[in-house]
Structure 1
Amino acid sequence: MDMDLQLKQVTEKNFFDLINLKSEEDQEKKFQIFERFVGSNAFFIALASVNGWTCKAIYDRETLIGFATHGLDRDHDRYELVSLMLGHQFQRKGYGIPAIKLVIEEMKEMYACDEIYLSVIKENEPAILYEKVGFEPTGEIFQAFHPEPIYRLKV
């Protein structure tokens, strides 16, 4: 598949498209703070505004396909890939690993960090992609609405 992935700013122009991008088709008719495996994009945009995190729209050329949030986890003094999602219509099409790598590259440039952390809901099978790019379980558990194992990538 020929793709041209880019991270773009969240703007007035793409805001509503972003908050309407859902990770599962059955979420299309709902507006919720949390979907089954991920907080809504609206939730992460709001959370980023109070935590000083960066939100990015993920595009393949001119098509919005996903969303990511990253920044400093002040509680643990480490950089975290807070959220990454692909719209359900773009899943299982080869976007996952390139999208993760693109966000990791931006984080390395922005923060000059040597480690990146993330947490996933255990039942979120697609999250196994994170291991394919080098994230390893730390043994820690982040207790959010679900117990979420924490992973670390040494960059």
Structure 2
Amino acid sequence: MSIRLSHVTETNFWDVINLKSDPEQEQRIQIFERWVGSNAFFLGACQVYGFTPRTIYDDEILIGFTSYGYRKENERYELISMMIGHQFQGKGYGVPIVTAIVKEMADKYNCKEIFLTVIHDNQKAIRVYEKVGFTPTGEIEQGHHPEFVYCLKLN
């Protein structure tokens, strides 16, 4: 496993857009999938809000997408989205990917905390985030679904 984060480019743009978190989503164009907004939605959010979009590769294979940045309305650094293509789920990528994102955010922003939200019933994602060290804050953010807020305190 060789996880690396990279830029969204003209070369990989359509591959990023077509990467889906659930096989049922392959046949649909939607703004929101079951547990995550579509990559197209988050690329738009990155453009409007100044977040950083990143592709996730294992060596040369595109396996996911993430976005992160400073969220002005909450005045905190957030991992805005993280999705792994359905064909790559359950293969042990979660913790290494989140760890790579956290490292890049910490290096880029020199921040002391990173926040994220996760849909209340996405138990697989919650387990991954908790393994990396994120803990629930007790807050619930109302997005498309109720989402628990988690925080990782950095040294």
Task: Report TM bin, short chain.
Answer: over 0.9
Aligned-residue sequence identity (percent) comes to: 56
* Deviation string, structure 1 residues 88-132 (Cα, Å, up to 9, x no partner): 000000111000000000000111001000000011121121011
Gaps of 5+ in 2: none
CA distance in 1, matches of 2:138, 2:2: 35
What are the equivalent positions in structure 2 for 1:1-155 lying under 5 Å apart?
A: 3-128=1-126, 129-155=128-154
Question: What secondary structure is seen at the aligned counterpart in 2 of 1:28?
Answer: helix
State the superposition RMSD in angstroms: 0.6
Runs (4+) off by over 2 Å: none
Question: What secondary structure is seen at the aligned counterpart in 2 of 1:99?
Answer: helix
Q: Across the two proteins, how many residue pairs are aligned to each other? A: 153
CA distance in 1, matches of 2:147, 2:11: 33
When normalised by structure 1's length, the TM-score is 0.97
Question: What secondary structure is seen at the aligned counterpart in 1 of 2:27?
Answer: coil
When normalised by structure 2's length, the TM-score is 0.97
* Deviation string, structure 1 residues 31-67 (Cα, Å, up to 9, x no partner): 1110011000000000110000000000011100000
- Structure 1 position 28, deviation (Å): 0.5
